[in-house]
């Protein structure tokens, strides 16, 4: 299970986004929902741009020698996961149906498990991650 989550969580998120898009459930006619989704995309781009050149990886084996503390990583440890969850749940809440909510729950569970496994890995690999984690929230600044 752990190996599956670690290797395929990104595909679950991308798959969910594709399913939502192809079924017309990704974007809303609400300007507020669209603004939230655009902010989520901007957060993801900002988080990606915060990595040192050549150190970004999709898997949980970072090549950076230290914990990244710049950009959105100053406030949240997992801004790209936060962005993905925000983008998907904005879509889910604007197109509520059984299967759309179920898809949102599956993504939330997979991302949560990925965060838990990744946190364990980062705590083992980087001794300063423990201190960093004490001062930042995992997904929602100042809350969670």
> Which tops the pLDDT comparison, 5 or 136?
136
pTM assigned to the model = 0.89
Q: Residue 34 has what pLDDT?
A: 95
Q: Residue 60 has what pLDDT?
A: 58
CA–CA dist 81, 16 (Å, integer): 14
pLDDT digits (tens, 9 = 90+) for 14-64: 999 999 999 999 998 899 999 999 999 999 999 999 987 766 666 656 556
pLDDT digits (tens, 9 = 90+) for 72-109: 999 999 999 999 999 999 999 999 999 999 999 999 99
Q: By the 8 A CB rule, do 9 and 110 touch?
A: yes
Residue 77 located in a structural domain:
yes
- In order of 7, 8, 55, 91, 134, the CA distances from 85 in angstroms are 18, 16, 23, 10, 22
Q: Where in the sequence is the domain holding 118, given as residue range(s)?
A: 10-52+66-135
Give bridge partners of residue 76 from the DSSP assignment: 137
Residue 19 located in a structural domain:
yes
Q: What is the DSSP string of 51-72?
A: SPTT---SSS----SS---SGG
Residue 73 located in a structural domain:
yes
Give bridge partners of residue 137 from the DSSP assignment: 76
Residue 22 located in a structural domain:
yes
């Amino acid at each position: 299970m752990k190996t599956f989550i670690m290797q395929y969580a990104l595909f679950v998120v991308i798959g969910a986004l594709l399913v939502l898009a192809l079924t017309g459930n990704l974007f809303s006619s609400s300007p507020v929902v669209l603004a939230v989704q655009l902010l989520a995309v901007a957060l993801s781009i900002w988080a990606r741009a915060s990595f040192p050149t050549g150190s970004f990886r999709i898997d949980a084996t970072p090549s950076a020698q230290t914990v990244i503390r710049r950009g959105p990583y100053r406030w949240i440890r997992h801004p790209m996961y936060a962005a993905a969850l925000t983008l998907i749940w904005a879509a889910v809440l604007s197109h509520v149906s059984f299967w759309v909510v179920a898809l949102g729950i599956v993504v939330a569970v997979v991302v949560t498990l990925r965060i838990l496994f990744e946190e364990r890995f980062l705590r083992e690999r980087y001794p300063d991650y423990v201190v960093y984690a004490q001062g930042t929230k995992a997904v929602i600044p100042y809350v969670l």
